[in-house]
A and B are shown apart, each in its own frame.
Chain A
Amino acid sequence: MENKGLNKVDLIFEKIDSKEVLMKAFKMSSAEIIQSILDSGLKGRGGAGFPTGLKWKYTAAEKDPVKYIVCNADEGEPGTFKDREILDRVSNKVHGGMAIAGRAIGAKKGIVYLRGEYRYLLPKLMPELDSFHKMIKEIGYDFNIEYCMGSGAYICGEESALFESVEGKRGEPRNKPPYPTVSGVFNKPTSINNVETLVTTMMIINHGAQNFIQYGTKDSRGSKVFSISGDTPTPGIFELELGMTVQQFVNEFGDGDTKAVQVGGASGFCVPRKKFTETIIGFEGTPTGGSMKLFNSSRSMYNVLHNYLDFFTEESCGQCTPCRVGCQQLLKGVEKVKKGEAKSTYLTELMKLADSMKIAAKCGLGQSVGNAFKSIVGNFREEIIY
């Protein structure tokens, strides 16, 4: 995989004239917009990394006259706070991206699902939304955005759980197929995109796909906003080109004593120091929604693992066996090993359980618990046992 080095980029927060970009987009046909996004190679910025152009293409192909564009602003992944900043600073671009998506897929309605923890943003966002609606009406575009609030459930960041929540139900992920592009919110064809993805699409329409391709690698085009926290002298959000190694990242953001970096939050991977140089941040390497946590040598990786497992045990929707019970088994299991109440070889059994969870759980949450578990136990086994 290509190593592009650590490069700061200014795309998401770049000042643009939203009205002009939208007018440009509305002159393009749905097919042209979709082609542009496909050409850019843009992949979802929420963490799953699905090619945005394909998602829009599939949704556009559906015949239903009623479709939705949903903006996933449920940002609940521990260590991710970039979407909050994006909404706070450039909501116009988020709404604009939704309007462009609406044009591409044939949706007249957009829904922003905003996590309850960000409710304090509403007094700022609502007037901005009003202005936005006025603006697109002036341009002559029939598109309306509504905000749906979450109420404290990490799982509602999962696309089908989000739909369930919008529909007034428990946020329990659905069986798939059918996929959202065919049957999403209110069982209508839906394209659900991350906040950052939508802003990026607006920038791609503005600057063109070729400009976007300059950044990043073959399979990880463009740049990404990273949320950086933990043992770092410079916590915050930074827009960086995709394709850097973790070593390069640590050189820039570490405190000189970094022993591990958790890439992708609780559902991501823990990269130990010895693997910094060989690990590249990108969809072909270690994919991420951008959460980067640095741990120095004072931190106990057992505590880190325990914190993540505790998180999942609480936030699991609870419907499927591998996740609901598996998370509890992993959590209680490492506690027992730590206390010496179980043999250290029990960790091997738990690793097998994590493998099963990865392929047996109903949704991405249950399937991802094993990532942190296996990477932390695999790389810091001694810290778990002693």
Chain B
Amino acid sequence: MYQVGNLVKELSDRHGRERESLMPILQDIVQKHNYLTDEAMVEVARELDISAAEVYGTASFYTFLDTQVKGKYVIRVCKTITCSMKGKSDIIHTLEDMLKIKVGETTADKQFSLIETNCIGWCHKAPAILINEMPYTELTPEKVTEIIKNYMQK
């Protein structure tokens, strides 16, 4: 959990307080914290003068605007057909073993979350994943192990 503090006010000053400001504000909060707390959504609702249910309804529509707790690094593994054909399952197994969590879960130290996602546009270099916004492609179990190790050391 994070304290939202002045963040929403600053983001509203930057993006505005119209309805069309909602997406950029939510996106910026997620960029910083990887998910939206209830407190954050209520603050946004207050700043923009829309109902909290509206904010939640909009956020929950978008896969990347998570309303459940996420770790510092969100790993999204593509599960669409080409990545599936090219070894996504092995990548998932490797990640589950390394992080000791199953798909959909977050590590106890809140460092990593592991989820599946739909086509991220790297089919010619499948299998591919996103870690936060960075794509990693042409993965093998060995490669992905290296990548995660690097993140663990950060």
B80 within 8 A of A: yes
Can you list, as one digit per residue, whether each of A203-238 has a CB less than 8 Å from chain B (1) or not (0)?
A: 000000000000000000000000111110001110
Q: With A117-B130, A170-B58 known to touch, is A152 a contact of B123 (CB < 8 Å)?
A: no
Which of A152, A266, A314 lies at the interface centre, i.e. has the most chain B CB atoms within 10 A of its CB?
A152
**B30 — which chain A residues lie within 8 A by C-beta?**
151
B133 within 8 A of A: yes
A118 within 8 A of B: yes
A299 within 8 A of B: yes
The segment out of B19-27, B98-106, B141-149 that lies at the interface is: B19-27
Q: Would you list the 7 A-B pairs with minimal beta carbon distance, nearest first? A: A152-B63, A235-B124, A229-B123, A151-B62, A168-B22, A152-B64, A81-B121
Tell me whether A81 and B85 are in contact (CB under 8 A).
no
**B23 — which chain A residues lie within 8 A by C-beta?**
148-149, 151, 165-166, 168
- Minimum CB–CB distance from B10 to chain A (whole Å) comes to 18
Interface size counted on chain A using CB atoms at 8 A: 50
- Minimum CB–CB distance from A21 to chain B (whole Å) comes to 27
Which of B20, B26, B118, B126 lies at the interface centre, i.e. has the most chain A CB atoms within 10 A of its CB?
B118
- Minimum CB–CB distance from A384 to chain B (whole Å) comes to 16
Rounded to whole angstroms, the CA-CA distance of A304 and B80 in the bound complex is 9
Can you list, as one digit per residue, whether each of A335-361 has a CB less than 8 Å from chain B (1) or not (0)?
A: 000000000000000000000000000
Rounded to whole angstroms, the CA-CA distance of A68 and B66 in the bound complex is 30
Tell me whether A78 and B119 are in contact (CB under 8 A).
yes
Partner of A167, one of B20, B57, B117, B135: B20
Tell me whether B84 and A227 are in contact (CB under 8 A).
no
Can you list, as one digit per residue, whether each of A309-352 has a CB less than 8 Å from chain B (1) or not (0)?
A: 00100110100000000000000000000000000000000000
B86-138 contacts to A, CB under 8 A, are 117-126, 130, 133-135
Rounded to whole angstroms, the CA-CA distance of A262 and B62 in the bound complex is 27
B57-90 contacts to A, CB under 8 A, are 57-58, 61-65, 79-82, 84-85
Q: Is the interface of A mostly helix, strand, loop or mixed?
A: mixed
**Could you pull out 21 A-B pairs where Cβ atoms are within 8 angstroms?**
A76-B118, A76-B119, A76-B121, A78-B123, A81-B121, A81-B124, A119-B133, A148-B23, A151-B30, A151-B63, A154-B118, A168-B18, A170-B57, A229-B82, A235-B123, A235-B124, A236-B124, A266-B80, A299-B85, A304-B81, A314-B118
- Minimum CB–CB distance from A157 to chain B (whole Å) comes to 11
- Minimum CB–CB distance from A317 to chain B (whole Å) comes to 8
Rounded to whole angstroms, the CA-CA distance of A116 and B118 in the bound complex is 12
**B27 — which chain A residues lie within 8 A by C-beta?**
116, 149, 151
- Minimum CB–CB distance from A311 to chain B (whole Å) comes to 6
B1-49 contacts to A, CB under 8 A, are 18-24, 26-27, 30
Partner of B125, one of A116, A235, A262: A235
**B133 — which chain A residues lie within 8 A by C-beta?**
119-120
Q: Which residue of B lies closest to A234 (CB)?
A: B124
